[in-house]
Amino acid sequence: MIYLLSQILDRSAEQFPGHEAFRCDDNSLTYRELWERANGLAHTLISMGVQRGDRVGIYLSKSLESAVAIYGIWKAGAAYVPLDPRAPVTRTVYAINHCGIRHLITQKSKRMKLPQLLQALKAPVGTHPASLRYVVGVPEGVELPHGVNHCSWSDISPSGIAPSVRILEQDLAYIMYTSGSTGTPKGIMHTHRSGLNYARMAAHTYGLTHDDRLGNHSPLHFDMSTLDYFSGPLVGATTVIIPEAYTKMPASLSQLAQDEALTIWYSVPFALIQLLLRGVLGERDLSSLRWVLFGGELYPAKYMYGLMKRLPRARFSNVYGPAEVNQCSYYHVPSLTEGQPIPDEVAPIGQIWANAEEIVVDDQDNPVVSGDVGELLVRTPTMMEGYWQRPDLNVSAFYRVEIAHQTAVFYRTGDLVQRLPDGNYQFVGRKDRQIKMRGYRIELDEVEAVLIAHPHVEEAAAYGVPAEIGGHQVAAAVILKPEASLSEAELLRYVGERLPAYAVPKGVAIATTFPRTGTGKIDRRALQQQAERAMGSRT
Amino acid sequence: MDTQDILKQYISQTLLNGRMQVEADDDLLGEEIIDSMGVMQLVAFVEAKFSCDVPQSDITITHFRTIKAIDTYLAKRSL
């Protein structure tokens, strides 16, 4: 019986010992090798004091070690916390201290940033004391602070013996940090149960088998990576980890997809748009691709149908679900018939998965009439436990209702949807001020909170403006304190040290006044329209 | 200024807003330096500054991973 995510690997190592589990940059690990390396890491972590329920940080570039780390951490009974390797140090420090990470797994490729991170961890700011005690995979030449122990990857021997750690499906499996509207990230907690339910549901829905080759485009801290790391191994498939550099070079990316004979692709639309526009697909043979899954943000119809025409053998599906529920719907995009014009509308998010239940409600939590716009609430066995140590959010994020003398718990997605006559849901917008940039969630309130925190800033407004290729990007305006002087470049640098690159505004206008609403509040809509007009006049 | 210095200055000052000084050997495409938007800006800059046309099929890891690689690529083209 399988009830833990780590048992995925135990079973596949038995069934497919010599089959490649993960590949990256021409290196690979078979299921047996991965199993032995994960056992080895687990023994090491346990000897370093890792206990059931502990949070272990993963600070790695995309590599085979990512897979070893995830399964090794689980085998030690702990939960993994993927830290964005691109995030500013202050943000990584926040996550490490917020969820009390005592053990961190890293590698040589992080040697540039590691000293700065360790230095910052020595002098913690805020309410959380520094928690880090052990670092695995420290590159040579990086000095550790006093009291922090370490070992290198070469110290860890593969082991044919699995550690004997008893945990259950309700134990914590991973925490992913995402943008929070109050200015600090929030940690989405998933258990072995919710993660495994997702792995199974996705493998079933997309008919994954051990013959499949999944292209892992998403980084570990992005929830889409769970298909590649959980569902692929569940069926004994091969996951090809795509190194960061390829994701920025569409012509190299398409070459890799061809050379690795990928069968399953799952990414944000941005990557697919890049492939279509710059991937020289005319010179490539991607006929092995059988399914292209995309999600995380809107995929403009002209680019979607454009790529479908280029890849006629692949099915295309829009996948929907906030990281809090993993995934809860999909929509299979029908191919255009001969001569049919390209529709303007983006693909619907489809129908809610068979294992989930949805309601669409108005502002008072009353169900709307079918076909009216409302917020989507979902209850599903793939849903998170809650946010790590955020009792406030854990009240507001859920809708609890009595059904048959029991409490049913729905997650409030914050997404406004509309049911179409054919039963599919269409995404219409957000209830709050969250925007998406290449699939990454950005809370505009968080961007404002960071700007306001600058000692010379009196007032700040952040808003979304359309990006060149679909989606949105952040723009902002500030009013400085009297007699303060600050340049846009200085302000952008300040923000860049506190927010991930995708959330840093493309520009900050230094203003003397803001448009106001009747009640004196900043009229962000007017600011946004001004910015859009300014963009329009340039093109 | 030679090609490498021009590229160093553009990437450090414009793309990175002065956050970091890049060296000729740094992996521009790793996590720390430029993102996919930055790559497009860099290519546009190279085309404008060195008056050349970079075809999509040339925008690859081989040619753009480091400042040195871009330099080599541009030198080969002008032969």
Reported as a single tens digit per residue, the pLDDT across B23-34 is: 898 889 887 788
Q: If we measure between CA atoms, which residue out of A72, A80, A81, A75 comes closest to residue A4?
A: A75
DSSP, res A227:
I
What is the residue type of A358?
Answer: E
Structure tokens at A426: 């269409």
Q: What pLDDT is recorded for position B78?
A: 74
**Distance (Å, whole) CA A449 – CA B18:** 23
CB crowding A392-422: b at 16 or more within 10 Å, else e: ebeeebbbeeeeeeeeeebbbbbbbbbbeee
Q: What pLDDT is recorded for position A501?
A: 86
Confidence of residue A437 (pLDDT cuts 50, 70, 90): confident
Q: If we measure between CA atoms, which residue out of A225, A228, A208, A173 comes closest to residue A5?
A: A173
Q: What pLDDT is recorded for position B1?
A: 84
Q: Does B12 touch chain A (CB under 8 A)?
A: no
**Distance (Å, whole) CA A66 – CA A213:** 17
Q: What pLDDT is recorded for position A10?
A: 98
In angstroms, the Cα distances linking A1 to A10, A11, A169, A226, A367 are 11, 10, 12, 21, 39
What is the residue type of B65?
Answer: R
Top-confidence residue, A3 or B40: A3
Q: What pLDDT is recorded for position A183?
A: 78
| Mean pLDDT, all residues of chain A | 93
Q: Mutate which of B12, B25, B60 to test chain A, going by most A C-beta atoms within 10 A?
A: B60
Confidence of residue A129 (pLDDT cuts 50, 70, 90): low
Nearest to B19 among A244, A270, A496 (CB): A496
Is A85 within 8 Å of B61 when comparing Cβ atoms? no
Q: What pLDDT is recorded for position A139?
A: 80
- Given a cut of 70, is residue A538 above it in pLDDT? no
Mean pLDDT of A160-168: 96
**Distance (Å, whole) CA A272 – CA A276:** 6
Q: What are A343-362's pLDDT values in tens digits? A: 888 999 999 999 999 999 99
Compute the Cα dihedral for A455, A461, A464, A468 and give only its sign: negative
Q: If we measure between CA atoms, which residue out of A105, A93, A158 comes closest to residue A136?
A: A105
In chain B the first and final C-alpha atoms are separated, in Å, by 20
DSSP, res A325:
G
Q: Does B23 touch chain A (CB under 8 A)?
A: no
- Adjacent-strand bridge partners of A511: A479
The DSSP result for A412-453, as a single string, is EEEEEEEE-TTS-EEEEEESSSEEEETTEEEEHHHHHHHHHT
Element (H, E) at A329: strand A329-332
Highest averaged pLDDT of the listed ranges A70-79, A463-472, A486-495, A510-519: A70-79
Domains and CATH numbers, chain B: 3-77 (1.10.1200.10)
Nearest to A249 among B31, B32, B61 (CB): B61
Top-confidence residue, A468 or A248: A248
Q: Which residue of B has its CA nearest to A282?
A: B57
Distance from CA of A45 to the nearest CA of B (A): 27
What is the residue type of A509?
Answer: A
Give the residue carrying structure tokens 């916390």.
A81
CB contacts < 8 A (A, B):
60
Strand stretches in A101-254, DSSP E: 103-105, 134-136, 149-151, 172-178, 186-191, 213-216, 238-241
Q: Does B58 touch chain A (CB under 8 A)?
A: yes
The whole-model pTM stands at 0.92
Is A113 within 8 Å of B32 when comparing Cβ atoms? yes
The DSSP result for A18-46, as a single string, is TSEEEEETTEEEEHHHHHHHHHHHHHHHH
CA atoms within 13 A on the CB side of A469: 19
Top-confidence residue, A466 or A275: A275
The DSSP result for chain B, as a single string, is --HHHHHHHIIIIIISTTS----TTS-TTSSSS--HHHHHHHHHHHHHHTT----GGG-SHHHHSSHHHHHHHHHHHT-
Residues with Cβ within 8 Å of residue A446, at least 6 apart in sequence:
A179, A180, A181, A182, A183, A184, A499, A503
Q: Which residue of A has its CA nearest to B64?
A: A249
Nearest to A245 among B17, B30, B56 (CB): B30
Structure tokens at A26: 């021409």
Count the neighbouring beta carbons within 10 Å of the beta carbon of residue A516: 11
In angstroms, the Cα distances linking A421 to A48, A159, A341, A350 are 58, 56, 21, 12
What percentage of chain A reaches a pLDDT higher than 90?
A: 78
- Given a cut of 90, is residue A310 above it in pLDDT? yes
Nearest to A61 among B31, B59, B62 (CB): B31
ipTM for the predicted complex: 0.85
Q: What pLDDT is recorded for position A146?
A: 81
Compute the Cα dihedral for B23, B24, B29, B35 and give only its sign: positive
Confidence of residue A439 (pLDDT cuts 50, 70, 90): confident
**Distance (Å, whole) CA A482 – CA A18:** 69
* Ordered strands of the A329-332 beta sheet: A27-30, A20-24, A238-241, A213-216, A264-267, A291-295, A315-320, A329-332, A351-352
Q: What pLDDT is recorded for position A128?
A: 63
**Distance (Å, whole) CA A178 – CA A443:** 9
Q: Which residue of B has its CA nearest to A283?
A: B57
**Distance (Å, whole) CA A235 – CA A16:** 9
Q: What pLDDT is recorded for position A537?
A: 58
Q: What pLDDT is recorded for position A7?
A: 98
Confidence of residue A466 (pLDDT cuts 50, 70, 90): confident
Mean pLDDT of A400-426: 95
Is A113 within 8 Å of B19 when comparing Cβ atoms? no
8 A C-beta contact, residue A195 and residue A220: no
**Distance (Å, whole) CA A307 – CA A285:** 13
- Given a cut of 50, is residue A539 above it in pLDDT? no
Q: Does B59 touch chain A (CB under 8 A)?
A: yes
Is B17 within 8 Å of A493 when comparing Cβ atoms? yes
Is B19 within 8 Å of A493 when comparing Cβ atoms? yes
Domains and CATH numbers, chain A: 6-247 (3.40.50.12780), 356-430 (2.30.38.10), 434-538 (3.30.300.30)
Q: What pLDDT is recorded for position A141?
A: 79
Q: What are A191-210's pLDDT values in tens digits? A: 999 999 999 999 999 999 99
Q: What are A65-111's pLDDT values in tens digits? A: 999 999 999 999 999 999 998 899 999 999 999 999 999 999 988 87
Nearest to A283 among B36, B57, B64 (CB): B57
Mean pLDDT of B62-71: 94
Q: Which residue of B has its CA nearest to A85?
A: B31
Q: Does B41 touch chain A (CB under 8 A)?
A: no
Confidence of residue A252 (pLDDT cuts 50, 70, 90): very high
Q: Pairing mode, if any, of strands A472-480 and A457-466?
A: antiparallel
Q: Which residues of B touch A109 (CB under 8 A)?
A: 30
Q: What pLDDT is recorded for position A180?
A: 84
Q: What are A292-308's pLDDT values in tens digits? A: 999 998 899 999 999 99
8 A C-beta contact, residue A176 and residue A188: yes
Residues with Cβ within 8 Å of residue A236, at least 6 apart in sequence:
A12, A15, A16, A19, A21, A31, A209, A210
Q: What pLDDT is recorded for position A127?
A: 58
Burial group, residue A133, by CB count within 10 angstroms (0-12, 13-18, 19+): middle
Mean pLDDT of A517-536: 84
What percentage of chain A reaches a pLDDT higher than 70?
A: 97
CA atoms within 13 A on the CB side of B48: 9
8 A C-beta contact, residue A238 and residue A214: yes
Mean pLDDT of A51-62: 96
Is A279 within 8 Å of B65 when comparing Cβ atoms? no
Q: Mutate which of B56, B58, B63 to test chain A, going by most A C-beta atoms within 10 A?
A: B56
**Distance (Å, whole) CA A161 – CA A75:** 11
